[in-house]
Structure 1
Amino acid sequence: MQTSTAPQRPVTAFLPINTLMLQAIKKVEQVIHELGRRGFAVASIDMSSPAYPTVRIQTSARCVQLIESGQAAYFSFGQGQIGRYREGQFRLDGCRVVWTENAN
């Protein structure tokens, strides 16, 4: 019994969103390397907006230094299940870098 499969046609070009996603991945890779060089630990990545990916880092004393020097800013304040929190952010090579600080 022979089974025949239709020949696969080569895809000549990526869909535009695929190209954007590949560019975003390269951008995020560079940012992760730079954050590691600066002593930050990456916790997660959000690429739902490939033109401007968000990289979440673990909170550290360096985050406070960035706020104090004006290189970063707080953008969100709130009350969650574990208490009050605030979120900081800065830009790095086309990515948004964010972290969350919990108040005790």
Structure 2
Amino acid sequence: MGASNPIQTRALRSAKPMNEVVKEAMLQALEEVCRLANEGHTIISADVAFGRPRIQLAASPLLAHLVETGKAAYYTYAIREGKRTRQGQLHNRSCTVVWAEEDAA
């Protein structure tokens, strides 16, 4: 019989059980969704993967204003199907909060 495989599958280990990590992240996302809605944002989606909440917002003039005042930033620019697009992210939030914008023309 040959040598054993040095790469073996291991169970994901965490200081907390993964179910607890995900439950805490979902509560964190829910709290952030409520804060964002109260601030006047439109929430498109919220998801939790590996305990890191991510919230997607609809583009709005409020988000553009937050970029202008330094409370958010555009982090990627692209041209897709002939249209300019950019994605933004809010700063200092308990979750990753992003949105996408596209030129109308």
Task: Tell me what 1:102 maps to.
Answer: 102
Specify the SS of the correspondent of 1:39: coil
**Aligned runs of 1:35-50 on 2, under 5 Å?**
35-50=36-51
User: Where does residue 87 of structure 1 map in the other structure?
Assistant: 87
Alpha-carbon distance in structure 2 between the residues aligned to 1:75 and 1:64: 13
Aligned length: 89
Show the counterpart of 2:33.
32
Root mean square deviation of aligned Cα: 1.6
How far has the Cα of 1:92 moved from its partner? 5.0
Runs of 4 or more consecutive aligned structure 1 residues displaced over 2 Å after TM superposition = none
The DSSP-based 3-state class of the residue aligned with 2:40 is: coil
Counterpart residue identity of residue 47, structure 2: D
Deviation at 1:82, TM superposition (A): 6.1
SS of the equivalent of 1:70 reads: coil
Cα–Cα, structure 1 residues 20 and 82, in superposed 2: closer, same or farther, change >3 Å? farther
Using the size of structure 2 for normalisation, the TM-score is 0.77
Structure 2 partner of 1:69: 69
Q: Which amino acid aligns with 1:47?
A: V
Higher Rg of the two aligned structures: 1
SS of equivalent to 1:19: helix
Measured in 1, the distance between the counterparts of 2:93 and 2:24 equals 12
Gaps of 5+ in 2: 1-15
The residue type paired with residue 69 of structure 2 is S
90 and 45 in structure 1: CA distance in 2 versus 1, 3 angstrom threshold: same
